[in-house]
Amino acid sequence: MPSRTVIPFGPQHPVFPEPLQLTLTVEDEKVVDAVPGLGYVHRGLEKGAELNDYIKNIYLAERVCGICSFMHSWTYCSCIEELLNIEVPPRAEYLRMIFAELSRVHSHLLWLGLYADAFGLESLFMQCWRIRERCLDMQEAGGGGRVILSTCTIGGMRRNLDEDMRRAFIKEVAEIRRDFERLVPVFLNDYSIKKRTVGVGVLSKEDAQSLGAVGPTLRASGVRSDARMLGYGPYKEVDFEPVVEEGGDCYARGVVRVKEVLQALDLITQALERLPEGEIKANFRGRLKGEVFKRMEQPRGEMLYYVKASRNKNLDRFRIRTPTFANIPPLLKMLPGCDLSDVPVITLSIDPCISCNER
Amino acid sequence: MWDKRCRLVTVTCVDLIDSLELTYSFDHNLELVHLRVKAEKDRPFPSISGIYYAAFLVENEIQDQFGLRFDNLHPDYQGFMLLSRDAPRTPMLRQVEERGRNEDAV
């Protein structure tokens, strides 16, 4: 019988951008069991939201995560808009979609870079992040901040996009696409990438569904499910078809994200070309009362917000189910049976965002 | 729910002062289905992690934040999954908030 060793993997590990601990039980070089250790960046944000008034919570929601911050504020604002029966002007909805897809592009590029770093391709990591920088510059030009934009507000948007900026955005998106298309063949065909990712960390379609996987992790296992199919905001008006892969391994999860970058760039161009004229913010009044569940698709997958209010200004309950929270059980299913050297690649393949996860 | 191949989205716990309200949300072909039950605060509540393994995270989180114990929860972090040993216990319960305010007033 081979001897068993327990290896604490993380919380501080060179490949993890954020503190996640995995207690791995290893038999020779094979992982037998994995137990997650959480709570290193728990901030009690849901409790904080009950103490703030509902306007301040927009900024709190944005700070749940640094990468997908815009989508958090969009989801939160749309929850409050539903409770107060506010009709958001179409131009604001399109602007929201543009920034949401822009943050999807930069989040996926960040992940593709870290993923390349995890299997040792430093130059690819640099290339991805170089392209990502252009997205951040666009966000700064259009929203005012590089990562946390604070442009989404209840009833609409805070900042408009003028005609010059709109044209510049269309041009810039085309250039990002041109740059990224040069990297796509590397992710899809490179021998060493395939060697490290094909058949590693396989998650079957049944397991993905029963373990509640979301986002690219679910779609890479062949399940056609994307919260954008619900048709919130302008998604019902643009051409959108979720990216689905059949492999269920790390390679398929990478391919889904590569294709989603191209798709998101396409969605941004569509939205910029169709951008309706008009107001960007609706006025509102009323009392917060009732409860609402709202789902939106983040770069990492489906996110669920629950807001319950019966008092005037404060919320009774504010709950966020972030995509990483749903993707940790599938990760624990993928790890047993793999080599210790594959653990970084498999863990990164679900795109763990621990500050989202622990809130 | 399991037989219909519904995907567990999450469990949401709300403190109603005299009891806790648990809402189980499932996804069936992009449609949300909610099941709502009330749980007594001081009695252990049956865990669904035996059926939906993925529920262990959210049930541990509720155990941390609301102090509701779950029967047959595995793995069970004993209320210390997100919170550290020296953190205040059950921070999401309403009474804790009120007690904190009273202490401030004194």
Strand order from edge to edge, sheet including A30-37: A4-9, A21-27, A30-37
Band of residue A174 on the pLDDT scale cut at 50, 70, 90: very high
Segment A254-258 shows an average pLDDT of 90
Cβ neighbours, 10 Å, residue A201:
27
Over residues B62-99, the pLDDT tens digits come to 888 888 888 887 777 777 777 777 777 777 777 655 54
Compute the count of residue pairs across chains A and B with CB atoms less than 8 Å apart.
71
**Residue in chain A lying closest to B17 (CA):** A316
**Mind listing the pLDDT tens digit for each residue in A228-239?**
888 787 888 888
Looking at per-residue pLDDT, the higher value among A38 and A175 belongs to A175
As beta bridge partners, residue B54 has none
End-to-end CA distance of chain A: 42
Mutate to test the interface with A, among B2, B6, B9 (most CBs of A within 10 A): B9
How confident is the model at residue B96, as a pLDDT? 53
The predicted complex's ipTM stands at 0.80
Q: Which span out of A5-14, A137-146, A262-271, A342-351 was modeled with the highest average pLDDT?
A: A262-271
A40-358: CATH, from 1.20.58.100, 3.90.1200.10, 3.30.390.50, 1.10.645.10? 1.10.645.10
For a pLDDT cut of 90, what percent of chain B falls above it? 0
What are A286-329's pLDDT values in tens digits? Answer: 788 888 898 888 888 888 999 888 867 788 888 898 888 888 88
Closest chain B C-alpha to A175 CA, distance in angstroms = 35
Instruction: Identify the three-state secondary structure at position A155.
Output: coil
Q: In chain A, what percentage of residues exceed pLDDT 90?
A: 9
Instruction: Give the model's pLDDT for residue B105.
Output: 39
Report the pLDDT averaged over residues A155-165: 87
Using alpha carbons, list the distances in angstroms from residue A265 to A135, A149, A268, B92: 10, 19, 5, 41
Q: Does B5 touch chain A (CB under 8 A)?
A: yes
Q: Where are the domains of chain A?
A: 40-358
Choose among A117, A315, A96, A331: nearest CA to A207: A331
Those of residues 23-42 in B touching chain A at CB distance below 8 A are 23, 25, 27, 30, 32, 34
Please state, as a whole number, how many other Cβ atoms lie within 10 Å of the Cβ of residue A311. 13
Closest residue by Cα to residue A304 from A102, A79, A83, A100: A79
Residue A32 CA to residue A20 CA, distance in Å, equals 19
Within 8 A of A44 by CB-CB distance, chain B residues are 91
Can you list the alpha helix ranges (DSSP code H) found in chain A? 45-51, 56-62, 69-84, 90-118, 122-143, 163-189, 191-197, 205-210, 215-219, 250-274, 323-334, 343-349, 354-358
**Span B14-25, pLDDT tens digits:** 888 888 888 988
